[in-house]
Amino acid sequence: MIGRLLKRLVVVLLAALLLVVVFVVVQFNRRPSLAPYQSLTLPTSTDTSAVRVRFAGVTTLVFDDGETAWMTDGFFSRPPVLRTLFGRIGPDPTIVDESLRRLGVRKLAAVIPVHAHYDHAMDAPLVAQRTGALLVGGESMRQIGRGAGLAEAQMRIVKPGETLQLGKFTLRLIASRHSPTPYSSGHGQEPITEPLTPPAHVTRWREGEVWVISVTHTSGRSFLVQGSAGIVPGSLAGVRAETVFLGTGTLGRKDEAYRSAYWAETVKLVGAKRVIPIHWDDFMLPLSEPLQATPWLIDDFDTVMADLQQRGRQDGVEVRMPPLFEPFVP
């Protein structure tokens, strides 16, 4: 009798586990369509005299004024979900080289990951090696560079508030926070304290220092790169940016109060006239395919866009989408 009950219990538990697995798999493949936002995509530009930007998914942006080019993140490898969760990951040189070719990038003055998670920093040392760029960041970024064999002379370690001159660009790196998630509280930082040599498990790329980058150019253009939807109240006081590249990852899972505070601290405070959402795409899918929004299981891009557009209408801020790989004037 007890044996039969145990067998039934095992069968029920296995069935329940199977249902959970099926649910997760199905939900991980359900996502908002990007079709409603295609009309918001900025046109490509051939004006090499203007500051132009190229977008390559997540928070990878190339700023280029025709004389100097520099990049945020430089994440291209985008390993698939099962390998990311259960294996060891590292940069894919073939994918990195092909992505740089598609961007038209041969030489960079700097590559600056906005924090040290793998979807921002994993490929950065290889990008620096390929392009001669300085790898810029904090002590955690130094350990990622060391683990990849990057020379110390090719790394620039900065402190919060420090400025960096790259040709006619002036960059100021301001301490920020990660968007609060089950994996990152948004209040503390997890440093990387020893060289990180890939391939490694995804958890080795801990958060490290988190940056928001204020960018000004001698042409008078000004930008803000807010890579993660975190808030440090008042940290951007005095900063001005006509265009904000706004990290929206997990913003669709935040409540109204958080989204309102994020807009106020990151868009209104700097006097922005245009917002370009970034970090909304599923970075476990390859760049050889069209970008897709993050699955509903993790985020809700429809909610994000409805929220941004409503706030934009109220405050006179234009919300536009970036084309993939193509140069545009932000």
Q: Per-residue pLDDT tens for 147-196?
A: 999 999 999 999 999 999 999 999 999 999 999 876 665 666 789 999 99
> In the prediction, which pLDDT does 16 show?
54
pLDDT tens digits, the chain, 330 residues: what are they? 666 666 666 555 655 555 544 455 555 568 999 999 999 999 999 998 899 999 999 999 999 999 999 999 999 999 999 999 999 999 999 999 999 999 999 999 999 999 999 999 999 999 999 999 999 999 999 999 999 999 999 999 999 999 999 999 999 999 999 998 766 656 667 899 999 999 999 999 999 999 999 999 999 999 999 999 999 999 999 999 999 999 999 999 999 999 999 999 999 999 999 999 999 999 999 999 999 999 999 999 999 999 999 999 999 999 999 999 999 999
CA dihedral 46, 48, 52, 53 (to 10 degrees): 70
Task: Specify the amino acid at residue 18.
Answer: L
> In the prediction, which pLDDT does 148 show?
97
Q: Are 41 and 320 within 8 A, CB to CB?
A: yes
> In the prediction, which pLDDT does 302 show?
97
**DSSP state, residue 266:** I
Q: Say if pTM beats, i.e. exceeds, 0.85.
A: yes
Fold of 31-319: Metallo-beta-lactamase; Chain A (3.60.15)
> In the prediction, which pLDDT does 20 show?
47
Between CA 271 and CA 45 the distance in angstroms is 25
> In the prediction, which pLDDT does 2 show?
65
Q: Are 281 and 287 within 8 A, CB to CB?
A: no
Q: Retrieve residue 69's tokens.
A: 């080019």
* Distance from the Cα of residue 170 to its chain's centroid: 21
The full set of domain ranges for the chain reads 31-319
> In the prediction, which pLDDT does 30 show?
83
Between CA 279 and CA 57 the distance in angstroms is 7
Between CA 75 and CA 93 the distance in angstroms is 11
Between CA 249 and CA 232 the distance in angstroms is 17
> In the prediction, which pLDDT does 181 show?
76
298 Cβ contact list (under 8 Å, min separation 6): 250, 253
Task: Specify the amino acid at residue 82.
Answer: L
